[in-house]
Structure 1
């Protein structure tokens, strides 16, 4: 019985890992600028521009000078694939 329960747990864990969404990241720092479509946060010596839209969940008052923690995912805006160089054919050695 313990073996079956363990196997079910492993299967469930594997299934949730496979179907998980994109990895989440976070940045924390003071707000430098706030616009309708983005927030600029200072992280060390870098300025991070993070996009936001109507679906972004905002808790509290985001204003210049306030410290925020932003959770974000990386999402492709577009992908332009180019044909790769054709691989040269391998010649068979004669024996």
Structure 2
């Protein structure tokens, strides 16, 4: 394969990863309503903001054309928020 094919393939992968990161960022913002409940621990609230700031920040562990680190941070935030909400609703039926 020549260089043009590799460049096109790399561009397609980069766009796919950027779309995945954007979708996860939207899901994190949708999960933000879970933060409105005062019973959600501060750690989970802070993780939400860290994930958002890390995703939009130009400073990354891996350069921005590769969104794998951003996706990982967003997935961690989503998992943490949903786990906190689930444990909160399990403790107090009728909430959330």
TM-score by length of 2: 0.27
**Greater relative CO, 1 or 2 (CA 8 Å, sep 6+):** 2
TM-score by length of 1: 0.28
More strand by share: 1
More helix by share: 2
